[in-house]
Each structure stands twice: as structure tokens, then as C-alpha cells.
Amino acid sequence: MPTTNYPQIDPLIVDLGDRSYSIFIGSQQLAYSDLSVHIKGKQVLIVSNETVAPLYLETVTNLLHDKHVDVVVLPDGEQYKNLDTLNLIFTKLLEQKHDRGTTLIALGGGVIGDMTGFAAATYQRGVAFIQIPTTLLSQVDSSVGGKTGVNHVLGKNMLGAFYQPKAVIIDTQTLDSLPQRQFSAGMAEVIKYGLISDYAFLQWLEQNNDSLLNRNPEALRYAIERSCINKAKIVSADETEQGVRAILNLGHTFGHAIETFQQYQGSLHGEAVAIGTVIAAHMSHFAGWLSKSDLHRIQSIFRSFLLPVTPPVEMTSTDFLALMGRDKKVMDGRLRLVLLKGLGQAFVSSEFSQEDLELALNNACGEL
Ligand code: NAD
Ligand code: GLY
């Protein structure tokens, strides 16, 4: 593989002072990782789910022969990312008498990562945790940056904490077992980095569509590394989303409305983000910031990675507006949205016109 096509990237650090941590990326990370090095005490609780545990739990447990390892296997699905399921983690920790020196390991996709991180943030006021993400989406986004939490029936990710892991270990080979639909959902967050701030990466994604869909290991590794670099840079600059970090939520306000509307059992998170991003792009176009050709390019790239670009047919613009009113980016009653000034140029605004928002939603919901 020519290195000009897939440039090598140095090991990654999320730079947060004394809470800085490394992201290890490679195709054999689980086979060769020195996982124990990142764990101070003897006690470990691995949190996984009923799909991922049969695939990778034994491999991870074998890396921890010098530790006392307990395991909790949760039901699989976004609809279980809630306080009831979180309580299963706390119950296991208490039953097995885990103390403040324990370390939680999240083994799974973003749902497991977000819940394990939140459990770690709150168990005995905070214990260590490590992310071992096994979906594309969790490898490029959710495992990095310390956003943890669960959903509420009234709103996505409404209960949570910023709480950073001690390390992120990404074994790209785990993606071999990932279903195609989940792979594409992860690509939505990869494309996001290109759209918000990395136009050269967006072009690279357009040019390497086939390699990525065929899961060429080098192309995949490069896409994951470049996504993590983008994320680490933004998180290091603004850990708790006081400013620039909000651009990572491109398409998410619309996407979260879709997920909440469907009670977390319809569109995948990445699919909802793809649809939401296309709505945000339409709105940016109606406001005069984004050209028609760039709008079409955005629709094309999502389609080329087999992602949906229109909301579920049963959703109306009124549904969107009602659900978006509860977004975490609402401040003093005013909704803030991530919009585009061009490809690779996202910004956050509360100064948009309500007319453009409604036009974009009417257009998306086929109400024009
Ligand atoms: P997920 O965790 O539900 O995983 C998707 C599916 O793939 C599940 O059925 C899972 O069991 C299965 N799976 C996982 N790894 C597998 C593997 N290697 N082989 C086969 N199957 C595998 O979904 P996701 O897309 O990973 O994550 C979505 C979640 O992440 C959402 O809850 C979203 O809100 C959250 N998220 C959080 C952040 C953050 O910054 N914390 C960022 C983006 C998304
Ligand atoms: N996924 C959005 C963030 O981490 O800020």
C-alpha cells in the first residue's frame, strides 16, 4: 500500500493535563495489549453485552491473569441505555465488594462505553475505567472525550457526566464481526470530522469509498486514526463543551429528536446523525451559507456509505420542533444549532432564522 495514500500517524494522546490518556490503535491490540499496565488495583469489572461478550470477552479476560476479574453482561440495544440497566453494573460492583481502587472496562460499542463510563464516574464518587470500543462508531467517536451517560424516555443522553477514561484500546480487527449496517452507521461520525473541520479528510473519504466499504485494513486504520486525531484535538481544547466542542454535534440535535421519537428502537445513532446532518446542510443552504453543489456533495457522501438521508416517514416537522426544544444545547430557552459555512467549516449559532429551520424541516419531512 503506498504510504502517500495512507500516511502514518504517531501514537495519539488526549491532552488534558494530569488526566491525559493514550489512544492505542492497531489491528492486533487485543492480542498484544499490555492491558494490566493501565490498571492500578487488583479488582476489575468488565462490562459487556450479550452480543460482544461471546466474541471478545475471553480474549480480554486472558490479558488480565494478574487481576481479580468480574464480569457483567448487559442486554444489547440502545433501548437498554437507561438507569435500570446502569443499576445492574452497580449491583454487580456491590455484590462483588469492589472498592474505590477498582477499574471498569467497557467492552463493546458506544452504548456499553457510555454506560460504563457513567457507572465509573458515579460508583463511590468515581473509579477508573478503560474503553475497549468494538464498533466503528465507538472507535472513532464515543470512546474518546469522556462524555458518558444514559438516555431518558424524554430525551437522549440526558443523564450523564464528563469523565475521562485512563486509556482507549482500539483493535481494528474487532470490526471484522461488525454487521454492515453498523459499519455504515459508524461512517456517519467519520464523515462528520471531514464536514466540521477537515476538508482534506472529506476528500480522502470520497476517494476511498470502496476501500472503506470493503474494510481494507490500511484504509480503515487511517480513517480511525484521523478521526481520533480530530476528536482528541477538539476535546483537548474544550473538554466540557463550553465552546468549540459543540461542533462535534453536527446533525445531532435533529438526530437525537429522531432517536427519541422512535424510543431508541428505530434508526441507529449514526443513521440519525446522517439524516440530521443533511437537514442541517439544507438549513445552511436556505440561509445562504452553503452552495447547492456542496449540499448535494453532502447527500452523496452519506448515500455512498449506504446511509439514509431522510427522516422516518411518520415524523413531522412539529415532532422535530417539540423534541428539539429539550436538546442539551438549548440555553436560556434558545436553541443552538451546528450549521455549515462550507465544507469543513462548522459553527454554532442561535442566531439562525426560525423560517430557515422550519423550511429545512418541512423539506425533510416532505411537507413543502
Ligand atoms: P451500540 O453500542 O449499540 O453497538 C451497535 C451494535 O453492534 C450492538 O448490537 C452491539 O452489540 C454490536 N457490536 C458491537 N461490537 C461488535 C462487534 N465487534 N461485532 C459485532 N457486533 C458488535 O452502538 P454504537 O453505534 O457503537 O454506539 C452508539 C451509542 O454511542 C449511542 O448511544 C450514542 O449516543 C453513543 N455516542 C456517544 C458519544 C460520546 O461522545 N460519548 C459519541 C457518539 C455516540
Ligand atoms: N460526540 C460529541 C462529543 O463527544 O462531544
* CA of 245, closest atom in ligand 2: 5
Protein residues whose CB sits closer than 6 Å to any atom of ligand 1: 49, 51-52, 55, 76, 78, 81, 108-112, 114, 134-135, 137-138, 141-142, 145, 147, 157, 174, 177-178, 182, 185, 269-270
Model confidence over 12-42: pLDDT tens digits? 999 999 999 999 999 989 988 889 999 999 9
Instruction: Label the pairing between strands 167-171 and 128-133.
Output: parallel
Q: b vs e for 37-50, b when ≥16 Cβ sit within 10 Å of the residue's Cβ?
A: ebbeeebbbbbbbe
Q: Is residue 292 annotated as part of the catalytic site, yes or no?
A: no
Neighbours of 165 (CB within 10 A): 29
Written as tens digits, the pLDDT of the chain (368 aa) is 334 455 555 669 999 999 999 999 999 899 888 899 999 999 999 999 999 999 999 999 999 999 999 999 999 999 999 999 999 999 999 999 999 999 999 999 999 999 999 999 999 999 999 999 999 999 999 999 999 999 999 999 999 999 999 999 999 999 999 999 999 999 999 999 999 999 999 999 999 999 999 999 999 999 999 999 999 999 999 999 999 999 999 999 999 999 999 999 999 999 999 999 999 999 999 999 999 999 999 999 999 999 999 999 999 999 999 999 887 777 777 899 999 999 999 999 998 999 999 999 999 999 98
Nearest CA to ligand 2 atom 3: 248
| 3-class DSSP assignment, residue 257 | helix
Q: Class assignment of domain 180-364?
A: mainly alpha
Q: Provide the residue ranges of all domains of the chain, joining segments of one domain with +.
A: 12-177, 180-364
Angle at 349 between CA 205 and CA 266, to 5 degrees: 55
User: Of 276, 271, 283, which Cα lies nearest the Cα of 254?
Assistant: 276
pLDDT digit string (tens) for 251-296?
Answer: 999 999 999 999 999 999 999 999 999 999 999 999 999 999 999 9
Atom of ligand 1 nearest to the CA of 144: 40
CA distance linking residue 368 with residue 70, whole number of Å = 56
What is the rounded distance in angstroms from the CA atom of residue 78 to the CA atom of residue 4? Answer: 39
Cα 25 to the center of its chain, rounded Å? 16
* Nearest-5° Cα angle at 92, 38 to 65: 40
Which one of the ligands is nearest to 272 CA? 1
What's the pLDDT score for residue 6? 58
Domain 12-177 has what CATH class? alpha beta
The yes-or-no answer on residue 269 being catalytic is yes
The model's pTM: 0.96
Residue whose cell numbers read 440497566: 85
DSSP state of 334: B
Question: Rounded CA gap, 135 and 105, in Å?
Answer: 15
The per-residue pLDDT for 179 is: 98
pLDDT score, position 8: 53
Amino acid at 139: Q
Give, as one character, the DSSP assignment of residue 131.
Answer: E
Question: Cα of 139 to ligand 1 centre, how many Å?
Answer: 9
- Could you identify the atom of ligand 2 that is nearest to the CA of residue 248? 2
